[in-house]
């Protein structure tokens, strides 16, 4: 019987699937992630780990866990574990593509609309008794309809965001690692240099993974290139943005606002200057958080574990172990 450590309680039937496959499961009972020492201790006993984006697993931890055969992240992003280092130590790393793009795109749109049209801000004001009358000048926002959207990183989520933009009759620019003629044809998206995209977009939405090439992709130089009044949307990762530069750009009025589902760090301390801007919407990394999607993500992570523990290639690998470990 293999032992699977699950770092948080999950929706869906992941535990059932693992148990039906004959594995013993141990679920971290806390609402907060296991602290690094507890995570390291739990992993030492485990053949597999079902992990979250909040669980950082470094090389020392991998060396100290010779029985661990797979880390199955319940996320599409995997910047919490290095795929190369895991492979070097014989450990599979898997993620959950193909099931969360639509839900995450819905949410990117919801915070973009909220920032553009003061939804969260006016809700807070209304709850605080601020609604005195209909006002011709209150909460004036900017139009999304027929505006220009710039998508940075046209992958699964970027594409789903672009599809929705067509309903708003937007012009859609994109900058990505690879040009995508088929999508240009099908969705009418226009390939643009980063400079042109930033100069022309009323909304800039980030959908790249976090890695050494994308860390602080948006910094002071890029903010200075943005169209005055433009709104930055980030549902990718907090560290894709140089947050001090963002604060500076908001303070100086270089950009008009920001809609952030991800920050650096997470959670963002309540005294952080970003919370002082009325034109900033901040949500707690919940873009994929519908019950159906989070359930499917957890199930997929379990399916990856079941395959790896049976000696098969898991369905969603993001690395290939040089010599897969044999387990305890
Ligand atoms: P994906 O399908 O892999 O798409 C990522 C896209 O970014 C790809 O099109 C990729 O390259 C492009 N890209 C990579 N590096 C780039 C670079 N240096 N410059 C420009 N473009 C680059 O991933 P996804 O499923 O859309 O997810 C994207 C990210 O969103 C995830 O990695 C995760 O961090 C984040 N996410 C957050 C939430 C949340 O709850 N907030 C939920 C899900 C995902 P090509 O152009 O070559 O295709
Ligand atoms: C969530 O942030 C994910 O990467 O799925």
- Please state the domain extents for the chain: 3-99+290-309, 101-282
Q: Determine the Cα–Cα distance for residues 163 and 160; give it in Å rounded to an integer.
A: 5
Task: Report whether 198 contacts 222 (CB < 8 A).
Answer: yes
Cβ count near 104 (within 10 Å): 24
Task: Compute, in angstroms, the gap from residue 253 CA to the centroid of ligand 2.
Answer: 30
Active site residue 285: yes
Alpha-carbon span 12 to 2, nearest angstrom = 21
Encoding tokens for residue 248? 């500076």
Does 3-99+290-309 match 101-282 in CATH topology?
Answer: yes
SS3 316: coil
For ligand 2, say whether the CB of 76 is within 6 Å of any of its atoms.
yes
Catalytic site residue from 285, 294, 296, 325: 285
Helix (H/G/I), strand (E/B), else coil: 263: coil
> Does residue 266 have an active-site annotation?
yes
- 117: annotated active-site residue: no
Average of per-residue pLDDT across 205-222: 98
CATH, domain 3-99+290-309, list 3.90.550.10, 3.30.390.50, 3.40.50.720, 3.30.1340.30 = 3.40.50.720
Task: Report the pLDDT averaged over residues 214-243.
Answer: 98
Residues 6+ apart with CB under 8 A from 293: 99, 100, 103
Residue 287 CA, ligand 2 centroid: distance in Å: 8
Report the distance separating Cα 169 and Cα 173, nearest Å. 13
- pLDDT at position 53 over 80: yes
Tell how far the Cα of 160 is from the centroid of ligand 1, in angstroms: 12
101-282 belongs to which CATH class?
A: alpha beta
Strand segments (E) across 224-268: 231-234, 257-260
Catalytic-role residue among 184, 190, 266, 313: 266
Which protein residue's CA is at the shortest distance from atom 37 of ligand 1? 236
Closest-CA residue, ligand 2 atom 1, reads: 75
Q: Is the pLDDT of residue 328 over 80?
A: no
State the Cα–Cα distance between residues 189 and 151, nearest whole angstrom.
Answer: 9
Per residue in 88-129, pLDDT (tens digit) is 999 999 999 999 999 999 999 999 999 999 999 999 999 999
Q: Is the model's pTM score more than 0.95?
A: yes
Of the residues 8, 23, 237, 325, only one is catalytic, namely 237
For residue 154, give the ligand 1 atom closest to its CA: 9
**Cβ partners under 8 Å of residue 327, min gap 6:** 2, 47, 67, 69, 309
Instruction: Classify the phi-psi angles of 237: left when phi > 0, otherwise alpha if psi is within -120 to 50, otherwise beta.
Output: beta
Q: Is the peptide bond before 267 cis (omega within 30 degrees of 0)?
A: yes
Q: Is the CB of 77 under 6 A from ligand 2?
A: yes
Write down the residue that tokens 């040089």 correspond to: 322
State both tokens at 218.
Answer: 């948006």
* Bond prior to 265 in cis (omega within 30° of 0): yes
């Amino acid at each position: 019987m293999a032992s699977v450590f699950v770092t948080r309680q999950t929706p869906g039937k992941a535990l059932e699937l693992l148990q039906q496959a004959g594995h013993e499961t141990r679920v971290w009972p806390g609402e907060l992630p296991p602290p690094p020492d507890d995570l390291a201790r739990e992993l030492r006993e485990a053949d597999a780990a079902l992990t979250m984006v909040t669980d950082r697993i470094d090389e020392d931890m991998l060396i100290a866990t010779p029985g661990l055969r797979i880390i199955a992240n319940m996320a599409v992003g995997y910047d919490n574990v290095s795929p190369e280092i895991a492979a070097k130590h014989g450990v599979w790393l898997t993620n959950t593509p193909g099931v969360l793009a639509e839900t995450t795109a819905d949410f990117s749109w919801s915070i973009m609309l909220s920032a553009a049209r003061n939804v969260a801000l006016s809700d807070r004001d209304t709850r605080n008794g601020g609604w005195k009358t209909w006002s011709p000048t209150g909460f004036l926002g900017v139009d999304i309809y027929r505006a220009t959207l710039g998508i940075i990183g046209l992958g699964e989520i970027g594409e789903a965001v672009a599809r929705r933009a067509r309903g708003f009759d937007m012009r859609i620019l994109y900058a990505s690692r690879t040009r995508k003629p088929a999508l240009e044809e099908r969705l009418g998206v226009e390939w643009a240099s980063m400079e042109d995209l930033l100069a022309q977009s009323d909304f800039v939405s980030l959908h790249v993974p976090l890695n050494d090439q994308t860390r602080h992709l948006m910094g002071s130089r890029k903010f200075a290139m943005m169209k005055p009044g433009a709104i930055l949307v980030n549902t990718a990762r907090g560290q894709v943005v140089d947050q001090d530069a963002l604060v500076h750009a908001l303070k100086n009025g270089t950009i008009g606002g920001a809609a952030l589902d991800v920050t650096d760090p997470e959670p963002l301390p309540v005294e952080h200057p970003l919370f002082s801007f009325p034109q900033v919407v901040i949500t707690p990394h919940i873009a994929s958080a519908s019950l159906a999607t989070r359930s499917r993500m957890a199930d997929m992570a379990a399916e990856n574990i079941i395959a790896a523990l049976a000696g098969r290639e898991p369905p969603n690998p993001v690395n290939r172990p040089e010599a897969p470990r044999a387990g305890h």
